[in-house]
A and B are shown apart, each in its own frame.
Chain A
Amino acid sequence: MGNFTKLIYNELTKMYIRKSTWVMYILLGVIILGIGIIANMYGELEESYEQDTWREVLQKENGQLTTEMEQEEFLQGINTSLIETNNYYLENDIQPVGYGAWQFVMENEILLSLVSLLTIIVAAGIVANEFRWGTIKLILIRPITRTKILASKYIAVLFFSLFTLLFVLLFSWIIGAIFFGVESMNPSIVLEKNTGLEYVSVFGEIISGYGYQLVTLVMMATFAFMISTVFRNSALAIGTAIFLMMVGNQIVFFFIERSWAKYILFANTDLNQYTNGNTPLIEGMTMGFSVTVLIVYYAVFLLLSWVFFTKRDVAGY
């Protein structure tokens, strides 16, 4: 192992040796399992679509949905779109796949905000804790520059989020496979997009769905890392990062009339606003603009962390 690799290894060891980290993973697992159980109990559309009978199955479903709709007013919206989807299959002569592990993973996209949350907690602690434990003194008196130590900590946080993301994907897939089976190796389904119904690959949906959220994850983790390095206080870092993540959109809408609203970080974290025929939040914003704003914020966060970590005296409290 190279010198720098060893530093990252050290950081990951300290992370994963602690029980609190494992509690996080157990919680994630329990939540995914819970979603699986609930989906299994209340999921209704679990027909299998056989080669020669799928057309009749879809027709029957449509019939059921229509009667349901007539009895229960509030089901109108959702059932109409389900019927439309079924019709899309029929009209285009596509044999639908049943529900299964891949679609379960796709629908659990929301779990990525939990991954963000855990990453924020880890990022908030990784520098502040060394100060709290007093071990920072023993780390800094090694023949390693402070820049390298800080970089190893930051990269370890990114690894943590990657591992956690993989855990969520893998565990969701396994739970999905156990409860619903595996639909096929690379299933495609009809989904309602802005431009209307579309036949898309589930795999592609998973990648873009999780991928767009990664922007927020990385930005908020870096923000928490910065607060933690500047103030050496993990609670403060967790608090501010989570608070901002939750109210970020409200902040943007509160200031939406102002000319500088488009420079707010949260106006730019959702890159999905430029794809799939979506309209950008504020007129005139482009993908290039948002990416630039994100890079500037990111660089400022890292620069502040670096300045405070490398330039400051390490004294007692």
Chain B
Amino acid sequence: MSETAMELMDVKKRIGKKEIIKGLSFTINKGEIFGLIGPNGAGKTTTIRMMVGLMQLSNGDVKILGKSIKTNYKEAIREVGAIVENPEMYPFMTGAQNLAHYARMIPGISKKRVQEVVRIVGLEKAMKEKVGKYSLGMRQRLGIAQALLHKPSILILDEPTNGLDPAGIREIRMYIRRLATEQNVAVIISSHLLSEIELMCDRIGIIKNGELVALQQVNEKADQNNLNQIQMEVTPVERAIELLKAHHGIHAVQVEESLSFQSEKENIPSLVQTFVQNDVSVFQVEVTKSTLEDKFFDLIGENTIG
């Protein structure tokens, strides 16, 4: 089950003097749903643009089922279905005409397949309507339909739930899950909403300022490592941070007058002991179960853009 579907190798993107993507390396497996998450301007869309060959890579390579997007573009892209940023379609054509248009661009897509895809995204009733009259959610569905036409091995969706109602999100989530488990499709989803990606993905890559700052398994595996978020009110804080690093190898950050870090609960007595022995006063210890959300905010901060 863990055959590689897509591999990013030290992917960088420079525009002018600015390095927007600073060396991304990770792999996505077949049958896996991978979430790419980060705040606005983190570089998610840019990364996706490079994955599908819309932007040239300044460095590194992207391999799709072993085929390089740089040197073997046609073979590589054949395996990919994607929505990049907004699901833009021709507003003056009907849904059916739009799909027919894209179907003509790839050999071997039957009429039956087009109907099948329409059924999957639940757009049967809107097929004869002009896309200009579609709601955002309907366009999003048509975008997904377009990406599925040629039965891709890798599905890349940039903010796919944007504009969908809760029922729509649930439907798409279930469908994506089914694609991954039944047809072994690798799915890459970008979002800046952690809550929704958490429910959908097997693994999450957190990206900030063009760098991958964390890769994390979601669900059961995340709980197994038993990490807790720990806050301690101590003085002096600076000294405490040094001690944690020197004696326990823990990187703590200062949050107001407290320390914040991750550790196992069993470690707490020995940590307190270290502090006491080194003349650091401990006033309060607070332990919370570490959730992905905490981690997310820890890593990228709540309101930092860029």
| Residues of chain A having any CB pair with chain B under 8 Å | 3, 6-7, 9-10, 13-14, 17-19, 133-135, 137-145, 313-316
Contact yes or no, A143 B74, CB < 8 A: yes
Contact yes or no, B78 A143, CB < 8 A: yes
Contact yes or no, A315 B49, CB < 8 A: yes
Q: Least Cβ distance of B18 to chain A in Å? A: 13
**Among B98-106, B180-188, B193-201, B241-249, the stretch in contact with A:** B98-106
Contact yes or no, B106 A143, CB < 8 A: yes
Contact yes or no, A143 B93, CB < 8 A: no
Number of interface residues of B (CB under 8 A): 33
Contact yes or no, A137 B54, CB < 8 A: yes
- The contact of A315 among B55, B75, B102, B146, by CB within 8 Å, is B55
**Among B80-88, B160-168, B171-179, B271-279, the stretch in contact with A:** B80-88
Q: Which residues of A contact B78 (CB under 8 A)?
A: 143
Contact A141:B104 (CB < 8 A) given known A17-B93, A133-B90 = no
Contact A10:B105 (CB < 8 A) given known A17-B92, A314-B49, A316-B85 = yes
* Minimal Cβ-Cβ distance residue in B for A144: B105
Q: Which residues of A contact B84 (CB under 8 A)?
A: 137-138, 141
Expressed in whole angstroms, the Cα–Cα distance for A315 and B56 within the complex equals: 11
- The contact of A143 among B55, B77, B88, B102, by CB within 8 Å, is B77
Residue B122 interfacial (CB < 8 Å): no
Q: Which residues of B contact A316 (CB under 8 A)?
A: 45, 85
Contact A14:B93 (CB < 8 A) given known A137-B54, A314-B54 = yes
Contact yes or no, A141 B80, CB < 8 A: yes
Q: Least Cβ distance of B67 to chain A in Å? A: 11
Contact yes or no, A313 B54, CB < 8 A: yes
Q: Which residues of B contact A141 (CB under 8 A)?
A: 52-54, 77, 80, 82, 84
Q: Which residues of A contact B90 (CB under 8 A)?
A: 14, 133, 135
Q: Least Cβ distance of B85 to chain A in Å? A: 7
Q: Least Cβ distance of A70 to chain B in Å? A: 62
Q: A19-B92, A137-B54 are in contact. List 14 more A-B contacts (CB 8 A).
A: A3-B107, A7-B104, A18-B92, A133-B88, A133-B90, A138-B102, A141-B52, A141-B77, A141-B84, A142-B102, A145-B74, A313-B49, A313-B56, A314-B54
- The contact of B104 among A6, A135, A145, by CB within 8 Å, is A6
Residue B97 interfacial (CB < 8 Å): yes
* Minimal Cβ-Cβ distance residue in B for A140: B54
Q: Which residues of A contact B88 (CB under 8 A)?
A: 133-135, 137-138
Q: List 22 A-B contacts (CB under 8 A).
A: A3-B107, A6-B104, A6-B105, A9-B104, A13-B97, A14-B90, A14-B101, A17-B97, A133-B88, A134-B88, A135-B89, A138-B88, A138-B89, A141-B52, A141-B77, A144-B74, A144-B105, A313-B49, A314-B49, A315-B46, A315-B54, A316-B85
Expressed in whole angstroms, the Cα–Cα distance for A18 and B92 within the complex equals: 7
Q: Which residues of A contact B80 (CB under 8 A)?
A: 141
* Minimal Cβ-Cβ distance residue in A for B97: A17
Contact yes or no, A137 B55, CB < 8 A: no
Expressed in whole angstroms, the Cα–Cα distance for A18 and B55 within the complex equals: 30
Q: Which residues of A contact B93 (CB under 8 A)?
A: 14, 17
Contact yes or no, B53 A140, CB < 8 A: yes
Q: Which residues of B contact A138 (CB under 8 A)?
A: 84, 88-89, 102, 146
Expressed in whole angstroms, the Cα–Cα distance for A277 and B25 within the complex equals: 72
- The contact of A142 among B49, B55, B75, B105, by CB within 8 Å, is B105
* Minimal Cβ-Cβ distance residue in B for A1: B104
Q: Which residues of B contact A14 (CB under 8 A)?
A: 90, 93, 101
Expressed in whole angstroms, the Cα–Cα distance for A315 and B82 within the complex equals: 15
Residue B301 interfacial (CB < 8 Å): no
User: Which of B15, B45, B104: most chain A Cβ within 10 A?
Assistant: B104
Q: Which residues of B contact A144 (CB under 8 A)?
A: 74, 105
Q: Which residues of B contact A315 (CB under 8 A)?
A: 46, 49, 54-55
Expressed in whole angstroms, the Cα–Cα distance for A313 and B50 within the complex equals: 9
Q: Least Cβ distance of B244 to chain A in Å? A: 43
Q: Which residues of B contact A145 (CB under 8 A)?
A: 73-74
Residue B91 interfacial (CB < 8 Å): yes
* Minimal Cβ-Cβ distance residue in B for A14: B90
* Minimal Cβ-Cβ distance residue in B for A11: B101
User: Which of A139, A140, A143, A145: most chain B Cβ within 10 A?
Assistant: A143
Q: Least Cβ distance of A135 to chain B in Å? A: 5
Expressed in whole angstroms, the Cα–Cα distance for A301 and B299 within the complex equals: 50
Q: Which residues of B contact A19 (CB under 8 A)?
A: 92
Q: Which residues of A contact B89 (CB under 8 A)?
A: 135, 138
Expressed in whole angstroms, the Cα–Cα distance for A133 and B107 within the complex equals: 25
Q: Which residues of B contact A133 (CB under 8 A)?
A: 88, 90-91
Q: Least Cβ distance of A148 to chain B in Å? A: 10
Expressed in whole angstroms, the Cα–Cα distance for A142 and B55 within the complex equals: 14
* Minimal Cβ-Cβ distance residue in A for B54: A314
Q: Least Cβ distance of B142 to chain A in Å? A: 11
